[in-house]
Amino acid sequence: MPCYNTGSEINRVLSAYEHQDLNVPFEIIAIDDGSTDVTYEILTSFTTCRFLLKILRLSTNQGPAAARNVGIQMAESPILLFVGDDIIPSPGLLRAHLNAHQTNPELEIAILGHIHWDPAIPQNTLMKHIDGIGAQQFSYYYMKPGCKYDFRHFYTANISLKRDFLMQLDHWFDTTFPYAAFEDVELAYRLKRLGLQIIYVADCVAYHSHYHTIWSFSERQYRAGMMAWRLVKKYPLIARWLIRKEHKRAIAWYLLIGRAKRKKRLFEMASLETKLLHFLSFYEWFFNPLIDALYLRVLDYFYFKGLTRELLKDSRRMPELLEVYANLYLIPTINWFLREARIKKIPVPFGKEDFFNA
């Protein structure tokens, strides 16, 4: 369990493990990833009765990949369960994982559990979307219990595998992925070459205690896009499901027309983004299928912005390309939504003139 600045939640997370209905011993390994709050103090002061708690503090924040690697080295159990520091286990989580491995003893089988939103926090439209039809966070909306899924579904918020299988690799999580995005997919892609199979077991239930808004999740998508390009750079064949037509269109538009010949007015990227996020905040509690469609487009935009930035981080042309990309993607999205909202009589916080006037 990598832990970073979760002083407000970690006591609740650990307390939930005290109520596991598992009848065999288990250990929890908590790696404080250079927290600047009271996370480490809470970890070290926690009194356990049901499990062995191992704690180690990293001197600097290195990201979840590095923290998990340290935890793997400290682990003694034959089955490893990867969880997050904001994941509240149900009482039967560990028992369900253990039973699933006993039913599927093959070394290459990993067990993916289900993650619900924490019922203690409200679910706004964005949260319902990213775990629902949007599937930008998890794809459970489209999954069926008992079925097998590919390496892209190696969600380290609730997945277990045999330690001996993981030890067949010469290294574990890739620490060149500093953010919590695609470092798990990268590991699973290498495990796939060894025969990894992921079985989704819906009875392995945990709860995600993390409130998101369009502001926080658009930043998450941006970082995910950056990490996606690192994955593509390592494994180019993966690009077919990471780079879409909108991203290719932005690059082609810039390369074909060029800076000297471009006469079309470009609106300032940061202004467009900020106005659009304010616009979407109006719908935080307004449930409508059209809002889902808008979330899809806007979150895709931030994802591919991050991917493009990482792709061109050493190029002097990067700022110009990002401006072009924002205009090609966001302006049609804004015009489309305002038109559809008018037809469907959905209220809007402000109109086109507010988006495009200086």
| Residue partners of 35: CB distance under 8 A and separation at least 6 | 3, 4, 5, 6, 7, 61
Mean pLDDT lowest among 256-260, 309-313, 315-319: 256-260
Grade residue 239 by pLDDT with cuts at 50, 70 and 90: low
78 vs 236: which has the higher pLDDT: 78
What six digits make up the tokens of 248?
Answer: 């290719």
Tokens of 68: 């998990």
Q: Write down the pLDDT at residue 62.
A: 95
What kind of fold does domain 2-212 have according to CATH? Answer: Spore Coat Polysaccharide Biosynthesis Protein SpsA; Chain A (3.90.550)
Q: Which amino acid is at 222?
A: Y
- As a residue count, the chain comes to 358
Predicted confidence (pLDDT) per residue in 73-85, tens digit? 999 999 999 999 9
Annotate 264-300 with DSSP letters as a single string: S----HHHHHHHHHHHHHTTTT---HHHHHHHHHHHH
Residue 319 CA to residue 312 CA, distance in Å, equals 9
DSSP 224: H
- Quote the pTM value: 0.91
Average pLDDT score over residue span 214-240: 90
Contacts of 295 (CB under 8 A, 6+ apart): 125, 126, 129, 130, 134, 214, 280
First CA to last CA distance, the chain: 47
Contact by Cβ (8 Å): 169, 47: no
In degrees to the nearest 10, what's the CA dihedral of 39, 41, 44, 46?
-80
Q: pLDDT at residue 339 above 60?
A: yes
pLDDT digits (tens, 9 = 90+) for 146-198: 999 999 999 999 999 999 999 999 999 999 999 989 999 999 999 999 999 99
Can you give the three-state secondary structure of 56-119, one letter per residue? EEECCCCCHHHHHHHHHHHCCCCEEEEECCCEEECCCHHHHHHHHHHHCCCCCEEEEEEEEECC
pLDDT in tens, 258-301: 544 455 667 888 999 999 999 999 999 999 999 999 999 999 99
Q: Where are the domains of the chain?
A: 2-212, 232-356
Q: How confident is the model at residue 254 (pLDDT cuts 50, 70, 90)?
A: low
Least confident of 45-49, 125-129, 244-248, 352-356: 244-248
Task: Quote the mean pLDDT of the chain.
Answer: 91
In whole angstroms, give the CA distance from residue 50 to residue 22: 9
pLDDT value for 214: 97
Whether 255 shows a pLDDT value over 80: the answer reads no
pLDDT of 203 > 60? The answer is yes
Pairing of strands 87-89, 2-3: unpaired
